Amino acid sequence: MHADPSIPLTSIFAFLLVLARVSGVFIFVPMPGFAGGPEPVKILFSLALTIALYPVWPVLHETPEIGQLVGWLVIEAAMGLTIGLLVGFLAEAFGLFGQMVSLHSGHSFASTIDPTTQADSGLIVVLAQSVAGLLFFTLGLHREVIRIFCRSLETHPPGSFTLSAATVDGVIRIGSTVFSTGLRLAFPVIGLLMMADLALALVGRINAHLQLNSLAFPAKTMATLVILAVLMEVAARVYQDYASRLLETIPTLIGA
């Protein structure tokens, strides 16, 4: 007797639903170089992760109709986009920090190629986003995202997720923490630069013959590099604290 190698149609539909949820989240997850990578690599990565989540695939007892299946796929993609958007706030907070520091320190004139978008971007902005991406993997946050996926597949079978007003309000509230976290990191640098400007202004006021305008730019540049080197250890702790609060909030928002 020969074994039947056919795959049930319900398993194929379950695979597609999980793939839609997984593909939605990786649009926003801050993986270094992933957004600018080749499309086949992204597809293979999403397929591999979907297959790895096979033990928690939803069990479909009957074959859904085409309209119902399309509705489920849209809902699954929306749920993945919601999770990915929340996780992406981690990189956005560091990007905002780099933007504010670049603006006040004069490093906005120094630009480089952003490896994510392949566009011309500020040097400190690219550096801050790269550090955020490396911390994402160093702290093991990618494993936490996979755990959230497993819990959401167990608690929210296909079609059960609803993008309610409470969920939208929660995403907006968490989005506001991007600005507070970025300011928390940037305030020491901005404060030091303000003190440097005041010191140079007072010295120039005391002795008008001193030409300090030519010294202001290199002084602020060196001060920025020094304070950024000191802040690296603090920035890692701030990132870990922000990530832990964010990942604890995601299951509550999606009801997992």
The predicted structure's pLDDT at residue 106:
64
Residue 1 clears pLDDT 50, i.e. is over it: no
Residues 172, 160, 256: CA angle, nearest 5 degrees:
60
- Cα-based angle 197, 102, 234 (whole degrees, multiple of 5): 90
Rounded Cα distance, 108 and 89, in Å: 22
- Dihedral over Cα of 53, 55, 58, 62: its sign: positive
What total number of domains does the chain contain? 1
Residue-level pLDDT at 135 = 85
| Range among 74-78, 117-121, 163-167 rated most confident | 74-78
Q: Looking at the domain assignment, is residue 21 inside a domain?
A: yes
pTM score of the predicted model: 0.73
For position 191, what pLDDT does the model report? 82
Q: Are 55 and 11 in contact (CB under 8 A)?
A: no
Amino acid 3: pLDDT: 52
Domain contains 143: yes
Closest Cα partner for 196 from 227, 233, 231, 230? 227
Cα(5)–Cα(232) distance, integer angstroms: 55
10-56 pLDDT, tens per residue?
788 888 888 888 887 777 666 655 666 667 777 788 888 888 888 88
Does 3 reside within a domain? no
Residue 1 covered by a domain: no
Say yes or no to pLDDT of 214 above 70: no
By residue range, what is the domain housing residue 102? Answer: 9-254
CB 60 within 8 A of CB 13: yes
Residue 132: pLDDT band (50, 70, 90) is confident
Per-residue pLDDT tens digits for 156-169: 777 666 667 777 78
The residue with greater pLDDT, 198 or 105, is 198
Domain membership flag for residue 210: yes
Given this model, what pLDDT does residue 60 score? 76
d(CA 82, CA 90) in angstroms, rounded, equals: 14
| 2 domain-assigned | no
Q: Which residues pair with 112 in a beta bridge?
A: 121
Q: Kindly state the average pLDDT of the residues 137-160.
A: 80
Look over the chain and give the mean of its residue pLDDT values, rounded to a whole number. 77
The single residue listed with the structure tokens 């630009």 is 111
**Arithmetic mean of pLDDT, 172-193:** 84
